[in-house]
Amino acid sequence: MINVIKLLIFVLAVLLTACQQEKEDLASYVAAVQAKQISDIDPIPVMKSYEKFTYSAAELRDPFVPTVVEVAAIEDEMPLEDNGIHPEEHRLKEALESYSLSELQFVGTLEKESIFALIRASDGVIHRVQVGNYMGQYHGKILMVSETEITLNEIVPEGKNRFVERESSLSVVDVN
């Protein structure tokens, strides 16, 4: 039994010496890694010193107080008489009434029972219209469609609550 104890002490001594060698290797590896490492942190920026500011415009005009006295708009001395011309208020707007006439191009006609005009809007979409349809921003009702021209009657505002009628036209545009 004494031999077994001696053998056990010998084995423990060998194992402890082996552990000491592994620790030395580990210590040398950690030292090598720490020697390579460079700090990624930037240095603290230099702070600018505080400069005192003295407000010297206290005697000037207050920007929040209006300086212009608002005067009511002078009404025309002679009010315009209502001539009875008014656009239809309760009519549903058609698609081409959201464009001005300068944004619309008359590009051709189709004929099937009646004659239809082909109108290209500024967004490139082509619309089909006929006599009785509306187009343009001034309630332009189409009166006549021919192969070369569309004639329409517009109701244009003239002053406050007064409208006048004017005749407008679109000529065919060469698409080639």
Domain that holds residue 130: 95-171
Query: Per the domain annotation, does 119 fall within a domain?
Result: yes
Tens of each residue's pLDDT in the chain, 176 residues:
778 788 888 887 777 666 555 577 778 888 888 887 676 788 888 988 888 888 888 788 877 777 766 666 655 555 666 777 888 888 898 999 999 888 999 998 988 888 999 999 989 899 999 999 999 989 999 999 998 999 999 988 887 778 889 998 888 877 55
Query: Per the domain annotation, does 63 fall within a domain?
Result: no
Query: Per the domain annotation, does 8 fall within a domain?
Result: yes
Number of structural domains found in the chain: 2
**Taking the model in full, what pTM does it have?**
0.53
d(CA 84, CA 90): 17
Question: How many other CB atoms sit within 10 Å of the CB of residue 33?
Answer: 8
Query: Per the domain annotation, does 134 fall within a domain?
Result: yes
